[in-house]
Chains A and B, each alone.
Chain A
Amino acid sequence: GAVVSQHPSWVICKSGTSVKIECRSLDFQATTMFWYRQFPKQSLMLMATSNEGSKATYEQGVEKDKFLINHASLTLSTLTVTSAHPEDSSFYICSARETPLATKNIQYFGAGTRLSVL
């Protein structure tokens, strides 16, 4: 299957600082990437849909200014958690969908990033 790389896998930061998470599709192009958040022992919650060359689409209740998304190329999307606070501590995971769209539209996921804000 297609490979999605996510970096870093784990980050600890001080409250008030910003953290950038990268999501790369290694062997395919992805017009669309997705950012999810997962709380312990819960399912994935879609935060936003990242579209190459255009603004991201955020789900209801997700702060656009808190979670900045940039999708500058067909293989890279970044999520920046700005002015992070302890309540932002969570597991963030990205996915990418192949372009052009295949029938199955499978989303391939990165390994996730555990963010701990002190």
Chain B
Amino acid sequence: AQKITQTQPGMFVQEKEAVTLDCTYDTSDQSYGLFWYKQPSSGEMIFLIYQGSYDEQNATEGRYSLNFQKARKSANLVISASQLGDSAMYFCAMRGLTQGGSEKLVFGKGTKLTVNP
């Protein structure tokens, strides 16, 4: 079974600085995908970035980059030049299987990021 661990319940960062949100995973699959989602206080889940296990390069999407270290089974999210609007919950997730054998997302417990002015 897949498992996602986010060890930082909360993180604080100064506006315009970079911040790293940690995520480690456990899976026996050879091929897998890792995701990061942002959940503002409004509740919606916003897809940020995806990393495939066979991708040779770390994924980047604007100010978001994923520091993928396969041997260490970590997929940390790096947010550069933090903005006040980045304050939110951040969830790391990976593909797993439902009881019926179809795909599902397995989520970590999340990290609450607060950007200070």
- Is A111 touching B104 in the complex (CB atoms < 8 A)? no
Compute how far the CA of A106 lies from the CA of B91 in the bound complex, rounded to whole angstroms: 14
Q: Does B68 touch A at the CB level, under 8 Å?
A: no
Which residues of B from 34 to 66 have beta carbons under 8 Å from A?
Answer: 35, 37, 42-47, 50, 52
Residues of A within 8 Å of B50, CB to CB, are 104, 106
Please pick, from A51, A105, A108, the residue contacting B95 in the complex, using a CB distance under 8 A. A105
Residues of A within 8 Å of B95, CB to CB, are 105
- Is B47 touching A43 in the complex (CB atoms < 8 A)? no
- Is B105 touching A46 in the complex (CB atoms < 8 A)? yes
Q: Does B102 touch A at the CB level, under 8 Å?
A: yes
Q: Which residues of B contact A (CB under 8 A)?
A: 33, 35, 37, 42-47, 50, 52, 91, 95, 98-100, 102-105, 107-110
Q: Which residues of A contact B (CB under 8 A)?
A: 1, 32, 34, 42-44, 46, 49, 51, 57, 59-60, 91, 93, 95, 97, 103-112, 114
